[in-house]
Amino acid sequence: MEDDDGVIRPDFQAKHTLTIRGDEKFCAHRDITVSEFDRVIQCAKCEAVLDTFEVLLQYAKNERDGMVLAADIRDKKVEMDALLRQEKRLKSRIARAKTKASKQGVMF
């Protein structure tokens, strides 16, 4: 389905497939068809002709968001590894303390 000007904005983040904001219609289907011959991007499901800049913008934002998430995951992995090392050190300290205490006759 096409808008009056023949171009519909994609909205890959939308939860519903048909979104109308004001007078604008948005296609929220994620599958697209790229025609190199016609230089047109269409929704693979509803066949809406999509605004090519908006499609590129959506992909760029998704790429950026993905890169931010990947960096967050790397940071969290570093933090988790540090916590696991700290846990291992603390367990060793506890084991040594229990051994020392049991040698002194203290029971847990």
Please count the residues of this chain forming the interface with Zn ion, following the rule CB under 5 A: 6
Strand order in the sheet with 40-43: 32-35, 40-43, 49-50
**Using rule CB under 5 A, residue 55 touches Zn ion:** no
Question: By Cβ distance, which residue is nearest to Zn ion?
Answer: 43
**Using rule CB under 5 A, residue 8 touches Zn ion:** no
Return d(Cα 102, Cα 108) in angstroms, integer: 8
Nearer to Zn ion, 18 or 106 (CB): 18
At its nearest, how many Å lie between Zn ion and the CB of residue 34? 14
Is residue 50 within 8 Å of 32, Cβ to Cβ?
Answer: yes
Among 11, 26, 29, 49, which residue sits at the site for Zn ion (rule: CB under 5 A)?
29
Q: What is the DSSP string of 48-102?
A: PEE-HHHHHHHHHHHHHHHHHHHHHHHHHHHHHHHHHHHHHHHHHHHHHHHHHHH
Give the type of residue at 69.
L
Nearer to Zn ion, 16 or 103 (CB): 16
Among 11, 26, 27, 54, which residue sits at the site for Zn ion (rule: CB under 5 A)?
27
Q: Which residues bind Zn ion (CB under 5 A)?
A: 27, 29, 43, 45-46, 48
